[in-house]
Structure 1
Amino acid sequence: MITDIIPIIMIFFVFFAIIGIVFYFKNNSGDKPAKKKDRKTLLKEATRKLAHNPRDPEALLILADIYYNENNFDKAMQTYRILLDLCATHPTLDQGVINFRYGMCAYNQDSIEVAYKSLLFSWSMDKENYELNSTLGKIEFKLKKYDKAASLLKKCVEQKPLDVMNRKYLGLSYFKLRDYKLAYPQLLKATEADYNDKEIVFNFAKCCQKVNKTDRALKLFTGLRQDNVWGPNAALFAGSINSSQRNYDNAIVDFEVGLRHNSIASDIKIEMHYRLALVFAKTGQHDESITHLKKVNALSPSYKDVPVLLNRFKELSTNKNLGIYLHSQTSEFVNLCKNIISAVFSKSSIKITDIVQGNSDYVEIVAEVKNRKWEDIILFKFIRTEGSVGELVIRELHTRLKDTRAGRGFCFNCGDYSDGAKSFVEARLIDLIDKEKLLKYLNKIG
């Protein structure tokens, strides 16, 4: 029995011995991969070759690649420049790669035109290089070739969706092309990925405004008001939105925050003073309006309609009732209109039967007026404008006279009336009250 097992043991012993010998010779044979040369060795070899031939392409390529990988773009660029000159006489040199790296060196040193030329050549030979497409796309954006930038960066975003910078410039390219629907999702994702990039946030806010997401835009602009770089612009946008929504107190805060910045572009500063003056006028603070308009005039004489506004607001600051007529809240305006009616018919009994408010632009009041000699229903229309009222408005007033069964109508305006309007009322019981007559009644009220 034991004698039968011995041959089997001997076979296993021989088998494992052979395997051990094979592994020993394999590991000690000449098939081992060559050890990668370190930087010192490569530099030594390149220097030795260049001592014999300063334009040795192999040695120059070693040096250029070392500089490039170490982000020493100045030296790398100089070396790749020599290699580009050698490409014509050394076909083994890869022109596409050398142009790509030369272009990347130039890009990292802000030599955009040089980078663009080399990268464009490299792109003609390799359109699938992600880093090349990404860099070239950003250069196209800086050169304001937004359609080309969008085409290149769209491809990059599809390849690497998490690269925030590609999304940023893709979104900005669409925004510059006024394709706000395409810009919105790109800038949204870029903002969510890096809220600390205030340039993205600011442009995303502008995009929100373009796609009618005004509340979100206002929130973003408001959050940026204190930023040293984007703050003044953001404050201007926030104040403009609040002003258009008639949130005048918020608008005043926005503009004042923006103007507190130490560094503000001249055009932004002028526009903020101008808009702040208009908001103060809307709230009846005409002295404040005049102060800011004077600052605009000092920075930019004859800016927009500032000279005209200065004269107007000076008049309003001395005539409180005129300011209320033009710029007060609707409730205060209606009360003033009632007082004007009392001033027109100071010796009559007046009973107001209906008031119609047309937003904040005008108000219509129907009143029963009685005195010892006569009584009648009269329709009063008060228009809050300093412009010229045309014939169409007066025709509408005439129609309203019939609807309300009024025997007479008055139209008050802080401007004047067109020739057509004046001609229309010649044979009708409608009195046109222009600014000169209106001021007399306002002064009479006191």
Structure 2
Amino acid sequence: MDTILPVLIAIITGSALLVLIMMLRSLSGKRKGGRASGAVRRKDRAVIIRESTKRLTHDPHNINALQQLADLYFDEQNWGKAFPLYDSLYELSLVHPEINIQKDALRQGMCALKINKLDEAGKGLFSAHKLLPNDFDTNFYLGLFLYQKKDYDKAIACLRKAHAIRPDMTNVNRPLGFSYYKSQHYKESLPYLRRVLDESPEDKETLFSLASAMEEAGFGDKALKVFVHLRPDPDFGAQSCLSAGLIHERSKQYQQAVQDYEIGLKLENVPSELQTTLRYRLASSYISMNNIGKGLYYLKQIQNTTPNYKDVAALVQRYQELNSNSNLQTYLMAGTSDFVALCRKFVEAYYPNAIVKIEDISVAPESIEILCSVESSRWEDTELFRFYRNTGAVGELYVRDFHSKLRDIKGDRGFCVTAGTYTDEAHKYVEGRPIDLIEKNMLVSVLKKIDMLG
């Protein structure tokens, strides 16, 4: 027994060493084989290029040479070199039935799309789609082509089919989501844009588009949060400031809107057209807050850089006058209680040498009416004043309505007051009737008397 044990140990040790040596030799062989295989592949590539080029020099329409070279460059994703080869194969397929037109037409379109040759891409992709209508690649790349051509409805059809064929292919989500978005199918775009953001959370273009789609789809509160988040962004910040400001304006949160627009104007590299729009909205917000001076400041900035922008010239003229006449500003812009108080003063100032007694005041959405009795040393009348806050032209229909009201109350005389003008028909209607039409110039004259009366 004592003699057998050392023999067994020697046998086991020898066997282990033998196995280890064999494993090391095997591993070494694989490494050498790998290096040899890489060398063979490099040699094969060089041979394919050399021999195919040689054959094409003698015969530019050599199908095998074109196919081998095209497939090699395609596998290497060398789209620029692969495209003309597949384009030749596509053209030759009419007279060479041995060409795999399904594969080569698709690849011709794919390569053209990759190097932005959109006009050439269409012919291959449409042909491939006719031959393989239920293939993922043909539907996806044709959809991508149609998206880039801005034919969004057709792009949606192809991309939806590609998504149905391969729901696992996430590269469909972006062009499909943007096709819905750019064709104004905002609600339908939302799930696909969200999936893009799940894959690429830093994609600011998709995030901005998602917010815009949410706003259009009626999710304004959620959209606003995204726009506010994007305000500092160098690429989408200015547009996000504009979008956030418009939402705040619609909800009459003018102070927040001012903040949005001012942030946008502080950003760098904002396009001049967008800067002008931000200034215009900023001026409008300040004016809505009755800060006429600030509003004028930004309107004049626009006037200096873009004189013919929208109605800026008319607004500057209007608000310069308002800024210098606080009573006219109150007449056009103040709340209802201040407007009524000013109109009472107007009636009293209109008859400085008479006793005016206010009998009744009625407020309507478009005007207010003041019924009063006026007594002077020589006469006494019951008179009705109607005040319009608009700055446009008041038509005959409104004057007729006022005349009917004056007859109903058996008033002696009536006065229609506006910060604008009256149409020619309105002026003709009051001829021979106990109605005076007071236009802007006369209104301003009386308002100045109120200033002097204190």
Answer whether TM exceeds 0.5 for this pair. yes
How far residue 224 of structure 1 moved from its aligned partner, in angstroms, is: 3.7
Give the one of 211, 214, 239 matched to 1:233. 239
Query: Relative to structure 1, is the Cα distance of residues 375 and 234 closer, same or farther in structure 2, using a 3 angstrom cutoff?
Result: farther
How far residue 444 of structure 1 moved from its aligned partner, in angstroms, is: 1.4
Give the one of 292, 296, 304 matched to 2:302. 296
Query: Does the residue aligned with 1:226 lie in a helix, a strand or coil?
Result: coil
Aligned to 1:11: none
Shifted more, 196-205 versus 301-310: the winner is 196-205
Give the one of 143, 149, 171 matched to 1:143. 149
Shifted more, 284-293 versus 166-175: the winner is 166-175
Aligned to 1:421: 426
Distance 1:96 1:210 in 2: 42
Distance 1:103 1:227 in 2: 36
Q: Is the 2:190–2:214 contact (alpha carbons within 8 Å) kept by the matching residues of 1? A: no
Distance 1:133 1:38 in 2: 37
Query: Relative to structure 1, is the Cα distance of residues 162 and 223 closer, same or farther in structure 2, using a 3 angstrom cutoff?
Result: farther
Q: TM-score, normalised by structure 2?
A: 0.75
Q: Is the 2:135–2:165 contact (alpha carbons within 8 Å) kept by the matching residues of 1? A: no
Give the one of 230, 251, 254 matched to 2:257. 251
Aligned to 1:436: 441
Give the one of 178, 190, 193 matched to 1:191. 193
Query: Relative to structure 1, is the Cα distance of residues 400 and 419 closer, same or farther in structure 2, using a 3 angstrom cutoff?
Result: same
Distance 1:171 1:377 in 2: 69
Q: Is the 1:334–1:363 contact (alpha carbons within 8 Å) kept by the matching residues of 2? A: no
Aligned to 1:364: 368
Letter in 1 for 2:192: A
Q: Is the 1:168–1:187 contact (alpha carbons within 8 Å) kept by the matching residues of 2? A: no
Distance 1:430 1:219 in 2: 55
Q: Is the 2:52–2:66 contact (alpha carbons within 8 Å) kept by the matching residues of 1? A: no
Query: What does 1:364-443 correspond to in 2, within 5 Å?
Result: 364-369=368-373, 371=375, 378-401=383-406, 407-443=412-448
Query: What does 1:201-280 correspond to in 2, within 5 Å?
Result: 201-208=207-214, 210=216, 218=224, 220-280=226-286
How far residue 439 of structure 1 moved from its aligned partner, in angstroms, is: 0.5
Q: Is the 2:173–2:195 contact (alpha carbons within 8 Å) kept by the matching residues of 1? A: no
Query: Does the residue aligned with 2:414 lie in a helix, a strand or coil?
Result: strand
Letter in 1 for 2:254: Y
Q: Is the 1:46–1:60 contact (alpha carbons within 8 Å) kept by the matching residues of 2? A: no
Query: Does the residue aligned with 1:102 lie in a helix, a strand or coil?
Result: helix
Query: Relative to structure 1, is the Cα distance of residues 214 and 388 closer, same or farther in structure 2, using a 3 angstrom cutoff?
Result: farther
Q: Is the 2:48–2:68 contact (alpha carbons within 8 Å) kept by the matching residues of 1? A: no
Query: Does the residue aligned with 2:107 lie in a helix, a strand or coil?
Result: helix
Query: Does the residue aligned with 1:315 lie in a helix, a strand or coil?
Result: helix
Q: Is the 1:225–1:231 contact (alpha carbons within 8 Å) kept by the matching residues of 2? A: yes
Q: TM-score, normalised by structure 1?
A: 0.76
Aligned to 1:125: 131
Aligned to 2:47: 48
Query: Relative to structure 1, is the Cα distance of residues 279 and 341 closer, same or farther in structure 2, using a 3 angstrom cutoff?
Result: farther
Query: Does the residue aligned with 2:415 lie in a helix, a strand or coil?
Result: strand
How far residue 357 of structure 1 moved from its aligned partner, in angstroms, is: 3.9
Query: Does the residue aligned with 1:439 lie in a helix, a strand or coil?
Result: helix
Q: Is the 1:164–1:190 contact (alpha carbons within 8 Å) kept by the matching residues of 2? A: no
RMSD of the TM alignment (CA)? 3.6
Q: Is the 1:171–1:184 contact (alpha carbons within 8 Å) kept by the matching residues of 2? A: no
Q: Is the 1:137–1:153 contact (alpha carbons within 8 Å) kept by the matching residues of 2? A: yes
Q: Is the 2:52–2:68 contact (alpha carbons within 8 Å) kept by the matching residues of 1? A: no
Distance 1:385 1:291 in 2: 24
Percent of aligned pairs with the same amino acid: 33
Q: Is the 1:368–1:377 contact (alpha carbons within 8 Å) kept by the matching residues of 2? A: yes
Query: What does 1:39-188 correspond to in 2, within 5 Å?
Result: 40-48=39-47, 51-54=50-53, 55=55, 61=67, 64-65=70-71, 67-77=73-83, 80=86, 91-161=97-167, 166-174=172-180, 176-177=182-183, 180=184, 183-188=185-190
Letter in 2 for 1:366: I
Q: Is the 1:39–1:66 contact (alpha carbons within 8 Å) kept by the matching residues of 2? A: no
Letter in 2 for 1:442: L
Superposed CA deviations along residues 71-110 of structure 1, whole A, max 9, x for unmatched, are 3434444664565577578644423212322332332233
Distance 1:39 1:105 in 2: 27
Query: Does the residue aligned with 1:270 lie in a helix, a strand or coil?
Result: helix
Residue correspondences, number: 405
Letter in 2 for 1:253: Q
Distance 2:323 2:302 in 1: 19
Q: Is the 1:286–1:313 contact (alpha carbons within 8 Å) kept by the matching residues of 2? A: yes
How far residue 188 of structure 1 moved from its aligned partner, in angstroms, is: 1.4
Superposed CA deviations along residues 256-303 of structure 1, whole A, max 9, x for unmatched, are 222222122232222332333333333333332332223222322323
Query: Does the residue aligned with 1:258 lie in a helix, a strand or coil?
Result: helix
Superposed CA deviations along residues 297-353 of structure 1, whole A, max 9, x for unmatched, are 232232333333322222222112222222334443333323323322444354463
Query: Does the residue aligned with 1:385 lie in a helix, a strand or coil?
Result: coil
Distance 1:367 1:185 in 2: 54
Q: Is the 2:406–2:414 contact (alpha carbons within 8 Å) kept by the matching residues of 1? A: yes
